[in-house]
Amino acid sequence: MQNFKSFKVWEREHLFTLRVNEASTTFPNDEIYSLTKQLRRAASSIPANIAESCGKNSQSEFAHLLNVALGSPNESEYFQILSKDLHYLTNEKFIDLSTTINEIKAMLISLISKIRSENNLRLITYNL
């Protein structure tokens, strides 16, 4: 088992979630139960998925759940685009959040690749 708080991608995503929550406070009140909630849920599900994946016993399960977690940044990115197009996010805030979510995706992909390559190396060594 891993400590999810020790991963830079979790920390970065947690801070991103806080920024999304702050940015969405200016959304119209009639959006509170739809777009605001969906955007916040999509953002918060990323660090939650990382935390959940750290509770698994095997590295392959860990990597698999991190791969599943990659869907949430894509969902979050879509809700950011929608929020910008509806003029709920300024272009500046949109660019900031978009840049960050793409960096987080790259960090997740890198972590998944590292875990998979370490796991494959263990399997090869074990089979020798």
Question: Tens of pLDDT along 35-68?
Answer: 999 999 999 999 998 898 888 777 888 888 888 8
- Predicted local distance difference test score (pLDDT) of residue 120: 63
Number of domains in the chain: 1
Q: Is 125's pLDDT higher than 60?
A: no
Which structure tokens are listed for 27?
Answer: 């959304």
CATH number at residue 25: 1.20.1440.60
Which distant-in-sequence residues (6+ apart) come within 8 Å of 115 by Cβ?
59, 62, 63, 66
- Predicted local distance difference test score (pLDDT) of residue 121: 54
Which distant-in-sequence residues (6+ apart) come within 8 Å of 46 by Cβ?
13, 16, 17, 69, 72, 73, 76, 104
- Predicted local distance difference test score (pLDDT) of residue 102: 95
Q: Is 69's pLDDT higher than 50?
A: yes
**Confidence (pTM):** 0.85
What domain range is 87 assigned to?
4-127
